[in-house]
Amino acid sequence: MPKIMDGRKLAEEIKAEVKKEVRLLNEHGIDVGLAVLLVGDNPASEQYFLAIMRASKNVGITVYKHKFPDTVTINELLNIINSLNTDERVNGILIFLPLPKRINARRVINSIAPEKDVDGLGAISVGRLAADESTFQLFKNNSHEISESMSSFIPCTPFGVIKFLEYYGVALKGKHAVVISKSLAVGKPLSMMLLAKEATVTVCHRETKNLSALTIQADIICTATGQQGIIKGDMVKDGVIVVDIGIKVLSDGRIVGDVDFDSVKDRASLITPVPGGVGPVTIAMLIENTARSAKRSDLLKSPLLM
Ligand SMILES: NC(=O)c1ccc[n+]([C@@H]2O[C@H](COP(=O)([O-])OP(=O)(O)OC[C@H]3O[C@@H](n4cnc5c(N)ncnc54)[C@H](OP(=O)(O)O)[C@@H]3O)[C@@H](O)[C@H]2O)c1
């Protein structure tokens, strides 16, 4: 029988630690704030926003919501980010994607100050991850420990995946990990993090030929395509560890992942469910990064460092 990896349990543990951190910061007169930018009316984004609100409120982080109509201009977004970059109440800035096609999303994301880029998607944060300048965060026993030299964050979803695997005692060194996605938000940073952990990494995407020939060799499969049932039981080896990051909302309102859970679970030693797997851990990592940003900025302003 496979062991089901419980994302809600891990998320609760992370949030309990963040709550202690935030309380300590509050005692020193520091409030922690997260600004969230939403464009248009996307029901999935609203759901995600509500989940972030709940989690933040629970740990004492204030959320500043900035909602714009679909007709928003790029300059309006750049202006608000510019003011949030210098807003002392705001320690993290999150932009919900996708933005309308006519807006250059990379330009908008890159305008976030790296020290407030808590989802790690700006070019500076991505570059630091690729250059192994921020991967030390993956090796801390207690990732709440920060130093003033920490000037960027690593993306929440893949960071959460690594935490999830380690929480369940998975040693990554030397393992063959197959990542299905090369997206900037999930596949690419996750591949880099797995490499930093000295796994052997195969990255797959839409143009990958014969996906099952690769997945059948995997010790660990991490999939984030949004394609229901892309991984089936006959595509994996016995004992495989499966992390399903994909989310798809079906027409009847059910939420499913990429993995055909029923056929894969019989072969897997560890498997994440959807919902209740990676999703809650992603949110926990977002608020953890936000609290760390507040702690770091306070440290930098300490008279002892001046
Ligand atoms: N659980 C969470 O916290 C969380 C967080 C973020 C995202 N997600 C979910 O993860 C999924 C992906 O999100 P994203 O923003 O990364 O999306 P994205 O930018 O569209 O990336 C999807 C990736 O999957 C690959 N792909 C799609 N169909 C494929 C197929 N049939 N075979 C092989 N590869 C395929 C794409 O390949 P190409 O590059 O070749 O197009 C791309 O690399 C979505 O379901 C999203 O809701 C979940």
- Whether 196 is in the pocket of ligand 1, judged by its Cβ within 6 Å, is no
Q: Residue 142 pLDDT > 70, yes or no?
A: no
Residues 204-242, buried b or exposed e (16+ Cβ, 10 A)? beeeeeebeebbeebbbbbbbbbeeebbeeebbeeebbb
Range of the domain at 197: 158-278
Tokens coding 17: 């630690």
- Closest protein CA for atom 44 of ligand 1: 226
The pLDDT score that the predictor gives to residue 43 is 85
Residue 176 inside a domain? The answer is yes
CATH of the domain at 168: 3.40.50.720
Answer for the pair 296, 134: CB distance below 8 angstroms, yes or no. Answer: no
Closest by Cα among 131, 200, 125, 120 to 158:
120
Q: Where are the alpha helices (DSSP H) in 28-95?
A: 43-59, 74-85
- Whether 228 is in the pocket of ligand 1, judged by its Cβ within 6 Å, is no
Handedness of CA 218, 161, 262, 226 (dihedral sign): negative
Give residue-wise pLDDT tens across range 54-112: 999 999 999 999 999 999 999 999 999 999 999 999 999 999 999 999 999 999 999 99
Q: Residue 306 pLDDT > 50, yes or no?
A: no
Residue tagged 């309990």 (tokens): 16
- Whether 247 is in the pocket of ligand 1, judged by its Cβ within 6 Å, is yes
- Whether 98 is in the pocket of ligand 1, judged by its Cβ within 6 Å, is no
- CA 256 – ligand 1 centroid, Å: 13
Residue 209 inside a domain? The answer is yes
Q: Residue 150 pLDDT > 70, yes or no?
A: no
- Whether 121 is in the pocket of ligand 1, judged by its Cβ within 6 Å, is no
The pLDDT score that the predictor gives to residue 303 is 57
- Whether 182 is in the pocket of ligand 1, judged by its Cβ within 6 Å, is yes
- Whether 63 is in the pocket of ligand 1, judged by its Cβ within 6 Å, is no
Residue 189 per-residue DSSP state = H
- CA 304 – ligand 1 centroid, Å: 45
Residue 198 inside a domain? The answer is yes
Q: How many CA atoms lie within 13 A of 93 on its CB side?
A: 29
Answer for the pair 290, 92: CB distance below 8 angstroms, yes or no. Answer: yes
Residue 57 inside a domain? The answer is no
Residue 285 inside a domain? The answer is no
Q: How far apart are CA 292 and CA 221, in angstroms?
A: 30
Residue 130 inside a domain? The answer is no
For residue 148, with 0-12 CB atoms within 10 Å meaning exposed, 13-18 middle and 19 or more buried, which class applies?
Answer: exposed
Residue 175 inside a domain? The answer is yes
For residue 272, with 0-12 CB atoms within 10 Å meaning exposed, 13-18 middle and 19 or more buried, which class applies?
Answer: buried
- CA 187 – ligand 1 centroid, Å: 8
- Closest protein CA for atom 10 of ligand 1: 246
The pLDDT score that the predictor gives to residue 148 is 47
Residue 219 inside a domain? The answer is yes
Answer for the pair 296, 146: CB distance below 8 angstroms, yes or no. Answer: yes
- CA 12 – ligand 1 centroid, Å: 26
Q: Which of 232, 245, 259 to mutate to test the pocket of ligand 1 (most atoms within 8 A of CB)?
A: 245
Tokens coding 233: 């039981």
Give residue-wise pLDDT tens across range 117-135: 999 999 999 999 999 999 9
Q: Where are the alpha helices (DSSP H) in the chain?
A: 7-27, 43-59, 74-85, 105-110, 123-130, 156-167, 187-196, 211-215, 261-265, 278-301
Paired residues of 28 in beta bridges = none
Q: Mean pLDDT score of the chain, rounded to an integer?
A: 94
Ligand 1 atom closest to 185 (CA): 16
What's the structural domain count of the chain? 1
In degrees, rounded to 5, the angle at the alpha carbon of residue 116 between the alpha carbons of residues 102 and 276 is: 80
- Whether 177 is in the pocket of ligand 1, judged by its Cβ within 6 Å, is no
Note if the pTM is more than 0.75.
yes
Local confidence band at 2 (pLDDT 50, 70, 90 cut-offs): confident
Give residue-wise pLDDT tens across range 7-17: 999 999 999 99
- Whether 273 is in the pocket of ligand 1, judged by its Cβ within 6 Å, is no
Average pLDDT over residues 161-175: 98
Answer for the pair 264, 232: CB distance below 8 angstroms, yes or no. Answer: yes
